[in-house]
Amino acid sequence: MSDPLWTSGQALAATGGMLLGDTDWTCTGVSIDTRTLEKGDLFVALKDVRDGHEFAAAAMEKGAAACLVSRGDLGLEPALQVPDVLDALRALGVAARDRSDAIRVAVTGSVGKTSVKEALAAVFRAHGPAHWSVKSYNNHWGVPLTLSRMPRETQRAVFEMGMNHAGEIRDLSSLVRPHVALITRIAPAHLEHLGTIEAIADAKSEIFEGLADDGVAIYPADDAHADRLARHAKRSCAAFMLDFGCAKDAAIRIEDFETGLDGSTGLVNVLGIRTRFHLKASGEHWAWNIAAIFAAAAASGLDAHAVADALAGVDAAAGRGRALTIKLPGGGEFTLLDDAYNANPVSMAAAISALGAAKPAGQGRRIAVLGDMFELGPDEAKLHAALAAPLEAADVDAVLPCGERMKHLHDALPAARRAGYAKTAGDALEMILSAVRPGDVVLLKGSNASGLHRIATRLADGSAFGLTEA
């Protein structure tokens, strides 16, 4: 039987709270959501969109070991009462960090951070007890939650860090105190809040400020802001700096790369050691992702050949460019490129390039269904319209823009590429169902708020066609 994640005494010592009711309990996990809570979890009553205290009773009914609360009037026991629940969660995270000898890797960037984090997690799992951020738990509560869940015996851990405003990454990095800090790429995301691409680079570079002593700073050699990122790294306490990418002088560089619907293959040079790799994920942007993965893995003490072996089973996560084969009710099938989790101009261009590299079957076509990009600031109209150029370069046959902002793209497209215009994701789904035919390759890409991820779910599970037939 494995050791508990937390005992009541350990949680009390970490948070400085007060135990209510039974003072001798243990928990096997930490949860903030009763929908995913498992028996034996410590339920943390965070206040966010809703007040978690409203769900504490339900958590206990579902089998929570105890509740972490700031209110003592709930009549729920056992509980650990603290002045501020989020502060207590952060304190649990710090205690988990300090009691473990795990090598901690922090990942941020405008594009690719979740894909890189997931692949790194797979590599780490192949080489011993590992820990990682689930989903995109990368904000002010997601990072401390992930840290608080880290078992003592963890050998390597990877934490994703996101932000909307300056200062947020600095706080998260100081909490994790990573041994390795990685920036994937810089792109015009969150311009609405930060104003300039340079400000975005500065905000992402805050990840280097939290580095542990003798830490490693990793940044993209091919990025237009590489020099700016390097200057930030030099001002940190980083003992080592590594750059990665396709540049000929990068410390970790891709020397050969091919990609298609069946995955990506190539040759990477890791500090002079060359190894071939293959993984199921596809798209030109995976060249940079893979270089970043090898860089972080090398900084974590892993052999390049062993990393390549572990990557063989890696595929893109749902909503991150995964290629799915979808059967049509009337016979035949089409390929869905599900990249609908999020979007900015750089990730849009990468997804469109992946669509261009795909080869439709038979008389199939390349179809791009593109949803709004958010938080782009005053240039959002221009940035949406500018997608017409990569769509032309990728030889996309039909484009279906969806959403108010994507009307600018629709207007910029030549008539031959217009497949219609949808105001909502629901309208887009109806258009897809009426237009898709065997052999097509259909890309779904947009910011999460565009709703295109719901289309991907319904196409993947077949419910879209069932509802249509009904």
Average pLDDT over every residue of 158-187: 96
Query: What residues does each domain of the chain span?
Result: 6-82, 100-311, 322-469
> What CA–CA distance (Å, rounded) separates 401 from 443?
11
Query: Within a 10 A sphere around the Cβ of 318, how many other Cβ atoms?
Result: 16
- Please report the pLDDT score of residue 319 as a whole number: 65
Whether residue 470 has pLDDT greater than 50: no
Q: Please tell me whether the overall predicted TM-score, pTM, comes out greater than 0.75 for this model.
A: yes
Average pLDDT over every residue of 32-42: 96
In this predicted structure, which of 290-304, 361-375, 455-469 has the lowest mean pLDDT? 455-469
- 104-160 pLDDT per residue, tens: 999 999 988 999 999 999 999 999 999 999 987 999 999 999 999 999 999 999 999
- Please report the pLDDT score of residue 48 as a whole number: 85
Contacts of 50 (CB under 8 A, 6+ apart): none
Single out the residue of 334, 359, 366 nearest to residue 459, CA to CA: 334
Which residues are bridge partners to 217 per DSSP? Answer: 181, 241
276 three-state secondary structure: strand
- 334-345 pLDDT per residue, tens: 999 998 888 889
Single out the residue of 179, 148, 176, 151 nearest to residue 161, CA to CA: 176
Superfamily of domain 322-469: Mur ligase, C-terminal domain (3.90.190.20)
- Please report the pLDDT score of residue 399 as a whole number: 97
- 355-393 pLDDT per residue, tens: 998 899 999 999 999 999 998 888 999 999 999 999 999
Query: Within a 10 A sphere around the Cβ of 378, how many other Cβ atoms?
Result: 9
Question: Residue for token digits 């994920």?
Answer: 281
> What CA–CA distance (Å, rounded) separates 290 from 310?
12
253 three-state secondary structure: strand
- Please report the pLDDT score of residue 449 as a whole number: 87
**Half-sphere CA count of 296, side-chain side, radius 13 A:** 35
On average, the pLDDT of the chain sits at: 93
The DSSP result for 34-82, as a single string, is TTT--TTEEEE--BSSSBGGGGHHHHHHTT-SEEEES-S-S--SSEEE-
Higher-pLDDT residue of 318, 296: 296
Whether residue 469 has pLDDT greater than 60: no
- Please report the pLDDT score of residue 316 as a whole number: 73
- 447-457 pLDDT per residue, tens: 888 999 899 99
- 84-103 pLDDT per residue, tens: 999 999 999 999 999 999 99
> What CA–CA distance (Å, rounded) separates 245 from 168?
26
- Please report the pLDDT score of residue 410 as a whole number: 97
Q: What angle do CA 284, 287, 290 make, to 5 degrees?
A: 140
6-82 maps to which CATH number? Answer: 3.40.1390.10
- 224-268 pLDDT per residue, tens: 999 999 999 999 989 999 999 999 999 999 999 998 888 899 999
What fold does the segment set 100-311 form as a domain? UDP-N-acetylmuramoyl-L-alanine:D-glutamate ligase (3.40.1190)
